[in-house]
Amino acid sequence: KICEEQRGLVLVTGTTGSGKSTTLAAMIDRINSTRPDHIITIEDPIEFLHRDKKGFVNQREVEVDTANFPVALRAALRQDPDVILVGEMRDLETIGTALLAAETGHMVFSTLHTLDATETIQRIIAVFPPPEQKQIRLQLASTLKAIVSQRLVRKSDGLGRVPAVEVLIATAYIRDCIINPDKTRMIHDAIAAGTSQYGMQTFDQSIYDLYTQNLITYEEALLRASNVDEFKLRCQGISSTADAARDQMQQAMSDADRRTSR
């Protein structure tokens, strides 16, 4: 569904070696296979080669084909792309140009070295000086489509690793949380509440699913869980105060969507 978006910003985040590049390559390949889009990738280095399929792909490597990410991104905007992949949003100039590209009708994909969706949003805002942060919040809220955060977890059979994935979808309530600094801390709870209605999930929800499918051990699940106590209660089938808060959050998100659709 994320790959079906025509414009906006999609971010894939995680630590080094968490599979960000592989996920982005799969997204680009999906678009390349299903849409007649002009796709420009800016990478350091190029890790996956994309052949033209239904789309048309130009791949550029930093310090080989171009000086740096901001220069390449500004040049790409003059070449009528439909989709732009920025290998990493490392600095203020790259982030600002990527937001502008998403704001002007392009589909922009990129990565950040952040642990989860909430930290990703806070990191982007914190890069800019305080006088500019209100405008950046508005830009990010209007352009963001999704954040996919990944961790690789050891499989129960010891043969490789499996991804635990947090997914944020930019609903009306999430956009309000981005704009309002006092609500930004509530994004994690909104993700947890948006599972059934919006297809979102937190890391702990993803880890629980992996555990119930016997893909990872209980010990590995506890090691990777963000909230260990709540995770234990869930495994025992016991409701927690977080479950009641989640129900309230679901109602708040539905109300926000209704107000937006009027």
pLDDT confidence of residue 248: 72
- pLDDT average, residue stretch 72-97: 96
pLDDT confidence of residue 29: 98
pLDDT confidence of residue 249: 74
pLDDT at 85 over 70: yes
Question: What DSSP line would sit under 85-146, residue for residue?
Answer: EES---SHHHHHHHHHHHHTT-EEEEEE--SSHHHHHHHHHHTS-HHHHHHHHHHHHHHEEE
83 DSSP β-pair partners? 39, 107
pLDDT confidence of residue 61: 97
Q: Is the peptide bond before 45 cis (omega within 30 degrees of 0)?
A: yes
pLDDT at 151 over 60: yes
pTM: 0.93
pLDDT confidence of residue 240: 61
pLDDT-based confidence at residue 15 (cuts at 50, 70, 90) = very high
pLDDT 10s digits, 203-262 = 999 999 999 999 999 999 999 999 999 999 999 888 665 665 666 777 778 788 777 766
- pLDDT average, residue stretch 149-154: 96
pLDDT-based confidence at residue 173 (cuts at 50, 70, 90) = very high
Domain 2-203 classification at class level:
alpha beta
Under DSSP, is residue 84 helix (H, G, I), strand (E, B) or coil? strand
Mean pLDDT computed over every residue of the chain: 93
* Domain edges within the chain: 2-203
The region, left, alpha or beta by phi > 0 then psi within -120 to 50, assigned to residue 249 is alpha
